[in-house]
Chains A and B, each alone.
Chain A
Amino acid sequence: MVAWFQSELGTGLGWFVAHLLFALAIALPVMAVMAMSTWVDRKVWALMQLRKGPNVVGAFGLAQPFADGIKLFLKETIIPTGASRGVFLLAPMISFVLALVAWAVIPFDAGLVLADINVGLLYLFAVSSLGVYGIIMAGWASNSRYPFLGGLRSAAQMVSYEVSIGFILICVVLYASSFNLTEIVEAQKGAILGVFSMNILNPLLLPMAVMFFISALAETNRPPFDLPEAEAELVAGYQTEYSSMAFALLMLGEYMNILLMCALASILFLGGYLPPVDWAPLYAVPGIVWLFLKIVLVFFLFAWVKALVPRYRYDQLMRLGWKVFLPISLVWVALVSGWLVFTGHFSGGGA
C-alpha cells in the first residue's frame, strides 16, 4: 500500500498520505467499536441484574450510544469560574488522544500494524502511564473538592498498579525475547504442547494473566476499583465539573483505555490475532476477526466484574497493589527467568 502511494505521490508525501490513511483506518473503527462497547457494557450489566438496559433508541437500543453522543454534543460547555482554564480544557484532550495513539502499535493481523517498532510493548506501557495526567489534571484544574480527591486517588492508584503491570509484562517478554508485539504474538504460535497458541495455558503465565486482568481493572478505574469516581462519595470524581464534549472526551478516553487493555490482554495472553488452536483450517478466518473475538471476550469479563463485585475500600486497594501484587509479580519474574534459563530457552540466538 505504501509503495503504491509513494509511486503516485513521491517518496515523502506518499509515505505521509499512506500512513495518515492507515491511522484513520485504525482510529475510526476503534471509535465506532468504543461507542458500541458502552452499549455492550450497559446491556451486560443490565442483564446480570435482570434489567433490560438500553432498549428504546433503535433495535435493542443499539442506537443508544449515538443518541448519548448527540445529547452531549448539543449541551453547553461550562467552565467553572475558579478553574484553571487552559489545564481544564487540555485534560480531556490529553486523555482522549493518549487513549487513541496507543493503538498505533497493536498488530491486527500478521504485518497489519501501523508502527512495527521494536519497543512496542514499552511504548504501550509509556502511553498508559501518561494516561494518569489526563485524570490528575482534570481533577486539579476543576478547582473543586470532589474532583481533586478523585484525581489524587486515581493518580495514586494508577502509579501503584503500573509497577506490577510492568513486572507482568516482563514475564511475557521473557518468553517472547522481544518487546515487539508482533513477535510476542508469533512466539505464542503452537507454544503450548505444539497445539494451542495461548500464553494463558502456560502454567507459569496463568497466574500472571489473572493478575494482569485485575491490575488492568485498577489501571482503567473500573469497578471494583472505581474509587476515583465513586459516585456515593465523590459525585463523579474527577469528571464532576465537566460537561458536554469535554465530559464526552474524558468518558470516551476511559472506554478506549478499557478496550486497549482488552487488546493488550488478548495479545499478551490469548495469542492476539492467532487462532486459539494451531490448526491449518482455522487460519482461513482473518486474524483481525480472532483478535476482535478475543477483545470482546475480555471486555465481557470487564463488564461481568462490574456487575459482580462490590467496590474496594481505598486502603484495601493499596494493600492489594503494594503488598500482594508487587511481591508476587517480582518473585514471578525471577521464577520465570530462572525456569527459562534452566530449560535453555535462551540458548538458541537471542541475547
Chain B
Amino acid sequence: MIQAAIFYLLAGATVLAGIMVISARNPVHSVLWLIFAFVNAAGLFLVIGAEFLAMLLVIVYVGAVAVLFLFVVMMLDIDFATLRAGAMRYLPLGLLLGAALSVELLLVASAWEAGAIAPSAPPRSGLSNTQALGTLLYTDYVFVFQAAGLILLTAMVGAIVLTHRERAGVKRQDPFRQASRTPAETIALARPAVGAGVETEGGVR
C-alpha cells in the first residue's frame, strides 16, 4: 500500500517532469526538469529494490552527463523565437515517433500480461544487488560487456579525433619546466651606476 503510493508519487513526478522538459520556455529550465525526471526514475528503481542501478543512474546520468548537458545549454545563446517557429512543422514527425513508441510499449505490456515473457529468475539468492550484477556481467555476459566497453572506447576516440586540432603558433605551458625553474635561471641582479641604466637583450628571460 505504501509502496504503491510511493510508486505513483514518483511516477507522477517523472511524467510531470517529462512534460515540463518539452514545455518549459527556457532551455536551462528544461534541463533542470530533465534532471528532476532522472532523480525520480532513480527513486522508481529503489521502489523495485534495484538500489545499485538507482545509485548508478544518479551518479552517471545526473552527476556527470546532465552536468555537461546543462553546461552546454547554459553557454548557448538560444533565440527562443526561431526555436518555436519550426514546432508545427515537426509536430507530425514527433507524433508519429510517439505513436510508434506507444504501440511498442503496448505490445510488450500485453505480451507480459499474456505470460509470453517471463521474468528470468535471480541468479543466486543471498547475494546483494551489486554482487549479483557483477557475477552476471563478468561470467555469462562478459563478451557483451567487453563489446559495450569497446564501443564506448571507439566513441571516445572518435570524439577526441573530431575535436583535436593541430594549430601552429600556440603558446604552450610545460608545468614540469615551470616548476623546475630556479632563481639563477631567471633573475639577474644588476647594480647600475646612477643615470647609466642596464642594457639587456630581452628583459625577462
Inter-subunit contact B51/A118 (CB<8 Å): yes
Q: A87-B29, A315-B173 are in contact. Are A159 and B64 (CB under 8 A)?
A: yes
Residues of B within 8 A of A350 (CB): 131
Inter-subunit contact A129/B58 (CB<8 Å): yes
Q: A118-B51, A129-B58, A137-B32 are in contact. Are A316 and B175 (CB under 8 A)?
A: yes
Inter-subunit contact B55/A155 (CB<8 Å): no
Within 8 Å of chain B (Cβ to Cβ): is A132?
yes
Inter-subunit contact B52/A84 (CB<8 Å): no
Inter-subunit contact A130/B62 (CB<8 Å): yes
Chain A window 96-131, contacts with chain B (Cβ cutoff 8 Å), 1 for yes, 0 for no: 000000000000000000000111001101100110
Q: In the complex the two chains form, what is the Cα distance from A123 to B129 in whole Å?
A: 14
Least CB distance, B186 to chain A, in whole angstroms: 18
Within 8 Å of chain A (Cβ to Cβ): is B26?
yes
Within 8 Å of chain B (Cβ to Cβ): is A179?
yes
Chain A window 55-94, contacts with chain B (Cβ cutoff 8 Å), 1 for yes, 0 for no: 0000000000000000000000000000010010000000
Residues of B within 8 A of A351 (CB): 127, 131, 134-135
Chain B window 30-67, contacts with chain A (Cβ cutoff 8 Å), 1 for yes, 0 for no: 00100100000000000000011001101100111001
Contact of B67 among A119, A159, A315 (CB under 8 A): A159
Q: A117-B51, A351-B131, A351-B135 are in contact. Are A155 and B67 (CB under 8 A)?
A: yes
Q: In the complex the two chains form, what is the Cα distance from A133 to B24 in whole Å?
A: 19
Least CB distance, B22 to chain A, in whole angstroms: 18
Q: In the complex the two chains form, what is the Cα distance from A159 to B59 in whole Å?
A: 11
Contact of A162 among B55, B64, B173 (CB under 8 A): B64
The closest CB in chain B to the CB of A126 belongs to B58
Total contacting residues, chain B, CB less than 8 A: 30
Q: A119-B130, A129-B63, A315-B173 are in contact. Are A152 and B51 (CB under 8 A)?
A: no
Within 8 Å of chain A (Cβ to Cβ): is B128?
yes
Q: In the complex the two chains form, what is the Cα distance from A84 to B59 in whole Å?
A: 27
Chief secondary structure at chain A's binding surface: helix
Chain A window 163-180, contacts with chain B (Cβ cutoff 8 Å), 1 for yes, 0 for no: 000100000000000010
Inter-subunit contact A130/B135 (CB<8 Å): no
Residues of A within 8 A of B70 (CB): 136, 155
Q: A130-B62, A162-B64, A351-B131 are in contact. Are A119 and B71 (CB under 8 A)?
A: no
Inter-subunit contact B51/A129 (CB<8 Å): no
Residue among A119, A156, A350 with the highest chain B CB neighbour number at 10 A: A119
Within 8 Å of chain A (Cβ to Cβ): is B107?
no
Residues of A within 8 A of B130 (CB): 118-119, 179
Inter-subunit contact B129/A119 (CB<8 Å): yes
Q: In the complex the two chains form, what is the Cα distance from A156 to B56 in whole Å?
A: 20
Contacts A125-B55, A132-B63, A159-B63 given; 15 further ones with Cβ under 8 A? A12-B2, A87-B28, A119-B52, A119-B55, A125-B59, A126-B62, A129-B64, A130-B62, A136-B70, A159-B67, A162-B63, A162-B64, A179-B130, A316-B175, A351-B127
Q: Which residues of B contact A (CB under 8 A)?
A: 2, 26, 28-29, 32, 35, 51-52, 55-56, 58-59, 62-64, 67-68, 70-71, 74-75, 127-131, 134-135, 173, 175
Give 14 CB contacts A-B under 8 Å.
Answer: A84-B26, A122-B56, A125-B55, A125-B59, A126-B59, A126-B63, A129-B58, A129-B64, A140-B28, A148-B74, A159-B64, A350-B131, A351-B127, A351-B134
